[in-house]
Amino acid sequence: MTKPSHTTALPALLDLPDLTGRTAVVTGANSGLGLATVDGLARAGAHVVLAVRDTDRGEDAARTVTDARGTLEVRRLDLADLASVRRFAEDWHGDLDLLINNAGIMNVPESRTKDGFETQFGTNHLGHFALTNLLLPYLTDRVVTVASNGHKVPGTRIRFDNLDLAGEYTPVRAYAQSKLANLLFTLELQRRLTAAGSPVRALAAHPGHATTGLQRHDRSPGRRVLMRAMNRLVGQDGTAGAAKTLYAATRDLPGGSYVGPDGLGEQRGAPTLVGRSAAAGDPDTARRLWTVSEELTGTPFPERLRTPSPHA
């Protein structure tokens, strides 16, 4: 466990409440938006668990977060391996206030997770789906899933007949499907939490155009050039991008809310509630996706949920 000692302040976009005594898990926390989210939560006093594939890189990242009032802990989690997800959850004990489903990959070449799923859908959606269901019995406050307005790519839908996009794979199509799945997951999770009488809330957030390392993995040289141009024109750093996640994690917002930037085209700006595509708000598709995801991961919605802590 690391006790930090100095950090760069968040921009005036967001002032965080005191999070002393709160515990948060942030996936994909060793760089970019994830590390900026860790930084904000720890500076506000939270104990933050960096859930990362490479714990050495996670420890290095934790050492860059200094002068925070909270503490940091690094644990291994590979969202592309359901056995790793289960081990992470099995090792969890005690209340968990905030689960930040931040990790993600974007526009990568066609490949499969350890369990045989298309990698973007398997990592961005199924890994977080399983992690959330396994940790829900410990959760006291909320789940925030980082989505993307990539879910609005024309023609994007959940291909229930071909979730792996076999024979018709493109990196953009697969990424858009996974981000649509994030929003449908949030919608159905909130419905189930409400039906169970749980005060835990499910929210989603997108950063706008953030200049993080995520874009370096795009297989298309043309898109990489375009993204570098967009970075110069409208890009925000990871700290400004993470402000949307932190807003969703700490503000008194309705369950099911979607947070993004208030600027032109939702590319940059201060956090605000934003809209989603019609496909991302379809409750029937959300229920169907949940059923399929349970079958694929073997992780159903838990029968029992923990009573929140008094401060939640």
Instruction: Please list the active-site residues.
Output: 175
* DSSP H or E segment with residue 143: strand 139-146
**Local structure of 45: helix, strand or coil:** coil
Residues found in the chain: 312
Residues with Cβ within 8 Å of residue 56, at least 6 apart in sequence? none
**Local structure of 277: helix, strand or coil:** coil
Per DSSP, the chain holds a count of helices (H) and strands (E) of: 9, 8
Contact 262, 154 (CB under 8 A): no
**Local structure of 251: helix, strand or coil:** coil
| Alpha-carbon torsion, ordered 14, 256, 33, 207, to 10 deg | -70
Residue 11: how many other CB atoms lie within 10 Å? 12
- Find where tokens 């059923």 sit: 291
